[in-house]
Amino acid sequence: MSFCEAPALRTNFYIDGFNLYFRALKDTPFRWLDVRKLAEELLPADSIGKVCYFTARLEIRPSNPGQAQRQQTYLRALSTLPGVEIHYGVFRSGVTRRALAQPVAGLPTHVLVRHSEEKGSDVNLATQLLVDGFNGEYEQAVVVSNDADFAGAMRYVRDGLGRRVTLVNPDAKTSSPRDLAAAATYVKRLWRSHLRRSGFPDTLRDEVGVITKPHGW
């Protein structure tokens, strides 16, 4: 190492899986994403420890029956990566009564709507970020999300624990929420070039057999 080079930081990544998907991956050719390779692309000079990926298993829906299977295939691929941990929340489904935006006179003003809501991923990410910080697992934590709910945990890691916190905004078109960006030491943008260089091969293997990139991905 030369005198002008900064030392590599022990770095953990904390990825909000659904936020990453909807902000950066949906309807792109980059969904077959190797998150460890992505971490190395984003911070090539640092020492990447573990990569924590937070998600929930999708329910099978009649309107899109292949969606859950594609996700399961992707999670199998992630499970082959060294140093990658998958943390699961849950989906909760139910029926709720909602008002119509434009009710018609003489007809019902409310309808029953089936809805699904993901629970737990945000809490799991914030908790893991704090626990790992308390345990001294990293010198730098990287949070990949644009969700302002993480601002409090990030601020404590930075100010209370004295660790560097880098926020990676997965949305190339919009800025991070002000409170979220203010809680970070540094803010980086996730570009398509990072994603382009971070894909899995079309096929790989685990202990079960061959894993193949889903059709259309």
Write down the pTM of the prediction.
0.88
Res. 64 pLDDT band, cuts 50 70 90:
confident
9 has a pLDDT exceeding 80? yes
* Mean pLDDT score, 163-192: 97
Bridge-partner residues for 17, per DSSP? none
Res. 89 pLDDT band, cuts 50 70 90:
very high
- 48-52, 98-102, 150-154: segment of lowest average pLDDT: 98-102
Backbone angles phi, psi at 147, to 5 degrees: -95, 115
Bridge-partner residues for 187, per DSSP? 167
Res. 16 pLDDT band, cuts 50 70 90:
very high
Res. 114 pLDDT band, cuts 50 70 90:
low
Token pair listed for 38: 């992505």
* Mean pLDDT score, 46-71: 91
Res. 1 pLDDT band, cuts 50 70 90:
very low
Contacts of 214 (CB under 8 A, 6+ apart): 31, 32, 66, 69, 70, 73, 74
Res. 90 pLDDT band, cuts 50 70 90:
confident
Bridge-partner residues for 177, per DSSP? none
- 5-9, 33-37, 60-64, 204-208: segment of lowest average pLDDT: 60-64
Q: Angle at CA 138, nearest 5°, toward 135 and 140? A: 135
Chain CA centroid to CA 137, Å? 20
* SS3 state of residue 159: helix
Backbone angles phi, psi at 15, to 5 degrees: -110, 120
Buried b (16+ CB within 10 A) or exposed e, 89-116: beeeeeeeeeeeeeeeeeeeeeeeeeee
Token pair listed for 82: 């060294």
Res. 124 pLDDT band, cuts 50 70 90:
very high
Q: Which domains does the chain have, with CATH numbers?
A: 10-100+109-212 (3.40.50.1010)
6 has a pLDDT exceeding 80? no
pLDDT of residue 92: 67
